[in-house]
Amino acid sequence: MKSDKNSIIGLVLLAVLFFSYFWYTNQQQTALVAFKKHQEDSIAAAQAKLVKPQDLVAARIDSLQRDSIAKIATAGDFAQAAIGKDTVVTLENDLIRVAFTNKGAQVKSVTLKKYATSDSADVVLAQDNQMGYTVNTADNKTALTSELYFTPEAPVTASDGSVSVKFILASAVGQSIAHIYTIHPGAYAVDWHIELVGANKLLTGGMLNFKWLAQTSQLERTAAYERQMSNICFSEGNEFDYISSNTDKTFEKPVQWVSVVQQFFNTTIIAKDGFSAGAVHWSRFTDSSNKLAKSETNLQIKLPQSATNTVALQLFAGPSDFEILKKQAPEMDRIVNLGRDMYSFVRPINKYIIMPVFDFFAGFVSNYGWVVLLLTLFIRLVTSPLTYSSYLSGAKMKVLKPELDTIKKKFGDDQQGFAMEQMKLFREAGVNPLGGCIPALLQIPIFFALYSFFNSNIALRGQAFLWSKDLSSYDVIATLPFNVPLGFGDHISLFTITAVLTSFLISIYNMSMTPTQDNPALKYMPYIFPFMLLFIFNRLPSALTWYYTVSNLVTLGLQFVIQNYIINHDKILAQMDEKRKTPKSKSKWQTRFEQMQESQKKLQDLKDKTAKKK
């Protein structure tokens, strides 16, 4: 025993020495790196002082000249398009304003007219995007179209109200590229047609290699939460999929569309005839900036090896609205997260029950807070047949509590004996001891369904109710000067407080119906769950915490009414006395269960006797 003790002490001392060594080494390395950085900065500053201003200007001009020469060489037969001046052409309809740049003949930004950010600025999408593809510019020379300057033509308005603009890029040897963009009234999508003349020379093997660089920025209240809700969605082989935790995806089947998704908005590239292959690399930012995520998507389109080819694409930049996306492209409505992966079982609940009911109430109630309340009452009404019997069973247990406490005192520490007598009492009273679990079990799928629904329902975005300024985000009644760990954050949400307090009241009520617990862990267990909710709920949408508050109030009201106006306590006790006088019939399950309890009790008694003899 002494040897073991010495060994433990030795291991602890060794661990302390190792920790001290690594800590000291790390401190030394950090100091060394800082010293070298300071030394390098000092040398660079001294050298910079020796450089004359005219030398800096000359060096900059020389760098620009070298860059221009390199661009002209790369551009080959499109040399006249290698260097140019940015020109912006703007098209708009009733929903969007799209700015196009002649550099790459691509979308520069898309402004959504009907949406604003949390600080009341315009919602702008695709402003940090770059889209282009590789073309052969000469023998053994290639360039990205996103680096070449096209010539824009004047926008044209059609009789149906659509507006188009055409960008032209022509080579010195007769090849040409045209990008034609069209926006239609009442649409968030931009039609994009690529016309290639001399395609058999512009593309190698008829393969168009499309490259899309994208970066998203904060549009909601907190970048951290919006970053968490961001992901990449796509349709591969006509089946929806997405990546959230992974950073790389290689497509093994034809791809119909790829979407860069934020919490309530998305930017999606759609190929009318599909992409033949491709891959995407995606990552979230981890700093404290307003940047959310960045992605690099490479997609291939196999074209006929003919002299002239046309590629039909579409760029969607708009809200992640279920009804809008459903009409946009197959499977795009699944961008709206109504339940995925291990929570995919709640998607049918959202799609076929919660969403239609929510939209129905929203059709005649203007305030979405009251819509959530009506939705809550509807859910409780639908589930009432399942929960009524459990509330009834709970009320009966409260009637039995005095007798259960008496049995508890009688058997003391004999848990087996108490359990057998308790089951006997429940059987005589017609009480299902597991009946109270039904409301809790029902809450699980409903909670996950509403968590997905409220987090992705753009209709709630910016909707005020009571003290909440935005039902799609948490409400704030007080801001803390520090950040509380475990997900609580730096604020206090009043709807979270009301949800936690009502949960606490339900726990107190349930405790009043159960026998007195001697075990401190079991005694305080019902209070732990409401405390945990404080940390879970404080950063969730206030629509969800408002729902939970209303649902808890309904539960308390039902329990009070059933206990005081429906349950006849004297009648239950009279029925119990009557049942005790009549012969008891047991089911096979009850017989086996009691036999098992009896066996366990005998085994426990035997162990107790053996322990006393020792």
Q: What is the DSSP string of 246-276?
A: --EEEE-S-EEEEEEE-SSEEEEEEEEEEES
Q: What is the pLDDT of residue 15?
A: 43
User: In which band, very low, low, confident or very high, does the pLDDT at 575 lie, cut at 50, 70 and 90?
Assistant: low
Is there a contact between 194 and 104 (Cβ–Cβ < 8 Å)? no
| Residue-wise pLDDT tens digits, 368-377 | 999 999 999 9
| Residue-wise pLDDT tens digits, 251-289 | 989 999 999 999 999 999 999 889 999 999 998 988 778
| Residue-wise pLDDT tens digits, 219-232 | 988 888 888 889 99
User: In which band, very low, low, confident or very high, does the pLDDT at 557 lie, cut at 50, 70 and 90?
Assistant: confident
Give the domain ranges of the chain. 2-50, 76-336, 353-581
Average pLDDT, the chain: 79
Q: Write the CB contacts of 5 (distance below 8 Å, at least 6 apart in sequence).
A: none
- State the Cα–Cα distance between residues 266 and 258, nearest whole angstrom: 10
CATH of 76-336, one of 1.20.1250.20, 3.40.50.1370, 3.40.50.10470, 2.70.98.90: 2.70.98.90
CB neighbourhood size of 357 (10 A): 16
pTM of the model: 0.76
| Residue-wise pLDDT tens digits, 166-201 | 999 988 888 899 999 999 999 999 999 999 998 888
| Residue-wise pLDDT tens digits, 471-510 | 988 888 887 777 777 767 777 889 999 998 998 888 777 7
Q: Where is mean pLDDT largest: 21-25, 82-86, 330-334, 537-541?
A: 330-334
Q: What is the pLDDT of residue 240?
A: 93
Q: Write the CB contacts of 425 (distance below 8 Å, at least 6 apart in sequence).
A: 400, 403, 404, 407, 431
pLDDT of 614 strictly over 50: yes
Structure tokens at 461: 């975005």
Q: What is the pLDDT of residue 356?
A: 93
- DSSP label at residue 517: P
Average pLDDT on 330-342 reads 90
Average pLDDT on 567-578 reads 68
Q: What is the pLDDT of residue 57?
A: 47
Structure tokens at 128: 């940090």
Average pLDDT on 133-144 reads 86
Least confident of 284-293, 301-310, 484-493, 601-610: 601-610
Structure tokens at 430: 């017609």
Q: What is the pLDDT of residue 514?
A: 59
User: In which band, very low, low, confident or very high, does the pLDDT at 535 lie, cut at 50, 70 and 90?
Assistant: confident
